[in-house]
Amino acid sequence: MRLPHLVWQRREVVLFAAAALLLAIGGLLWLMDARTAATAVWVAATLIGLAHSTVTLVAAARRRQPSVDVIAWLALAGALVVGEAFAGAVIAVMLASGALLEARAAARARRELSLLAARAPRTARRYGPDGLVEVAVGEVVPGDRLLVGSGEIVPVDGRLLGAATFDESALSGEGLPVERRAGEDVRSGVINAGHPVDLVATVPAAASTYAGVVRLVEQAQADSAPFVRTADRVAVAFVPLTLILAGVAWAATGEAVRAVAVLVVATPCPLLLAAPIAIMSGLSRAARVGVVIKGGASLERLAAGRVLLFDKTGTLTHGRPTLADVVTAGRLDADELLRLAGSLDQASAHVLAAAIVSAARGRGLMLQAPDEVREEHGYGLRGVVDGREVRLGKASWLVPEPAPAWAQRVRHRADLDGSLAVYVAVDGELAGALLFEDPVRADAPRMVRALRAAGIKRIVLVTGDRAEIAETVGRIVGVDAVEADRDPAEKLAIVKAEQAAAPTIMVGDGINDAPALAAAGAGVALAARGATASAEAADVVLTVDRVDALADAILISRRARRIAWQAVFAGMGLALAAMVAAAAGLLPPAAGATLQEIIDVAAIGIALTALLPARAYTAAMTPADVATARRLYAQHESVRPLVEQIRAVADDLSPTHRDAEPVRELLGRLESDLLAHERAEEAELVPILAKTLGGADPTGAISRTHAEIEHYVRRLRRALDGAGTAEVTDLRRLLYGLYAILRLHNAQEEEAAFSLVPEPVAKAPRR
């Protein structure tokens, strides 16, 4: 019983293997001059194709769907009638290969929920009379007290018994960790990013948030209408035309051979072979730019999209916290504060620890192994680094009341920017703060512009994040509308509403996006950092960590679809002309079969042009230019702390604090480090960018800001050389102006230049 079941499950593979093998055997026999045996083998291949085509047609008729297999069935039968066994065997192989591709697409649909199911917790740790007991998650009932360890997924919705930190990006789209207080509700599917925490289950697992997301995916997939292939749409018109023409030729002359001749030249190879070749060529070209499109139907849906919906976290932003600034209280400089924090956080599993350690190492700081490390649950971390006591954590733990002026500014800035502040105390005194944000991808604004150029008419940002943060990101990248504070069900409703007006493309990377991805015309998932449920539910997967590849994928898909139509219309147009000639008695079956092969070759030749290089929106640099850009990017990163120091020095200046010495020290570094870097970029990066992007003046804005930066530094030098203590206001104005220009300039360079460089340079730019 096992073997027949396995054969049935792999019937498309068996069909293709049998048809191809018989075609090859027949060819060998023909070359060995065993013509009769060769014909018999080819007839067998044709009969296999005819049987499969008959089964497919019956199934399509039951579903009341059009099918190009009608033409294939007629062509196979006609080939047998007129004795064109070789042509019939070739058609059988083409039919089998199409069936194999269709089977692979269907298998993908059945796998879409596999990762969601695999990620779902199977067990939970429940407190009982005998202590902690591991039980199946289905046995959890409301009122049970559960323990969720560090890094574990919350198994059911519940209420916290203590403060905790969660990574909620999978459900809410929020890229930064979220602090939850005792008594707050927490949803299943989020990850405990802090210390172990207890919670009380409020609903059973089947009614929890995570189970609801899985049901939404199932519902969205069930509601999705089947996509009608290009070949099937052509077949709707071509099949009746073929039958009518053959019938008229037979009825008008009484010669059945004319009807057979019409059917022979109507062999639909442009539909069965040329169109799939163009589509597969598009899939191949998309894969070269890091985009996996899951089959021809997915490519056509991507090409048809006119409305594009984006999730924010991990899509338009990086989806992980990044150090934005180091603010010091004056006792330590920024590098030393970051070095101490990074050294201590080497011993922490907190979600922000990796960002702190990475930032410290990125600045070339030498980290030391910490001693006496202890976690203060719900507050932070403490330990000893180089003999100094260091504490990292929340303001409520470290910041005294009333808070110092600089700490108040940090709080205000964090609220204004939507960032997260981690405070640092050294030897019992508050020493500074680290600010984190989820930065916009440097290539996102250019990608949005490219999408509009590629034919996208409307772009919508749909996110579970807060409205003020979502609107900021929306303004930066240039979307048409922002839908914030949306849960998975609301995202699904928005996609359905947009889909009712125009074909949609949905882009996301989290579990919260999976229902919307499944419901959209084409779902696009970013999976560069590993497989996710969104990648399983999507039609298109970006395997590179750069969203501008999506514009290239849309351009490639539209070009492949256009070439497929060209191949279809050219091939079927020539076939139609041959059919008319055959109906008029000008083309006998044998000659018609030969002519049809020529038409097929011509159509395939058109289809193969989809493999040729074409215009792309993602510009490519030469290897030498990439090396230069990477060297300049390293310098670009090295001066970033200096840029942030400009703001810190300006903040410290006031009518009551007029010491200009910090300004003089800063100016020395600006002249020696910053200006040298900007001049190197003007001399080396600007020519590379002009050559790569082309156009009238692609580097004008960058060159202009280079000049403006130098102008501000020179003005600052003149102000200091002739300034007294009464000119603090002018110094602050110049410093803030220079800071603003540098921030804008860095964003310009990261978007226009460094985001074009292959990884790792363009991997994680910050705004």
Active site residues: 311
Residues with Cβ within 8 Å of 720's Cβ and at least 6 positions away in sequence, in order, are 660, 663, 664, 667, 731
DSSP string over 551-619:
HHHHHHHHHHHHHHHHHHHHHHHHHHHHHHHHHTTSS-HHHHHHHHHHHHHHHHHHHHGGGS----SS-
Q: Is the Cβ–Cβ distance between 593 and 85 less than 8 Å?
A: no
Q: What angle do CA 765, 547, 307 make, to 5 degrees?
A: 135
- End-to-end CA gap in the chain: 62
Record the tokens describing residue 97, joined without a space.
């290969």
Amino acid at 68: V
Name the one residue in this structure whose structure tokens are 């203060």: 376
> What is d(CA 336, CA 739) in angstroms, rounded to the nearest whole number?
22
- Helices and strands (H, E) in the chain, number of each type: 31, 22
Max Cα-Cα span within the chain: 111
With b for 16 or more beta-carbon neighbours within 10 A and e for fewer, the 489-528 pattern comes to bebbebbeebbeeebbbbbbbbbbbbbbbbbbbbbbbbbb
> What is d(CA 274, CA 97) in angstroms, rounded to the nearest whole number?
13
Q: What angle do CA 307, 505, 281 make, to 5 degrees?
A: 120
- Listed residue (714, 713, 727) closest to 660, CA to CA: 727
Record the tokens describing residue 600, joined without a space.
């097929």
Q: Is the Cβ–Cβ distance between 326 and 362 less than 8 Å?
A: no
Phi, psi of 178 (to 5 degrees): -115, 130
Name the one residue in this structure whose structure tokens are 């011993």: 347
Record the tokens describing residue 691, joined without a space.
């050559």
Q: What angle do CA 57, 60, 62 make, to 5 degrees?
A: 110
- Listed residue (148, 146, 139, 140) closest to 200, CA to CA: 146
Amino acid at 5: H
Indicate the pairing of strand 197-201 with strand 145-148.
Answer: antiparallel
Handedness of CA 83, 85, 87, 89 (dihedral sign): positive
Record the tokens describing residue 549, joined without a space.
């590849």
- Listed residue (672, 673, 651, 653) closest to 661, CA to CA: 653
Around Cβ 64, how many Cβ atoms within 10 Å? 6
**Cα 688 to chain center, whole Å?**
28
Name the 3-class secondary structure at 381.
strand
Cross-strand pairs, 159: 185, 200
Q: Is the Cβ–Cβ distance between 363 and 341 less than 8 Å?
A: no
Q: Is the Cβ–Cβ distance between 76 and 44 less than 8 Å?
A: no
Phi, psi of 426 (to 5 degrees): -125, 125
Element (H or E) spanning 99, and its range? helix 85-111
- Listed residue (733, 744, 669) closest to 708, CA to CA: 744
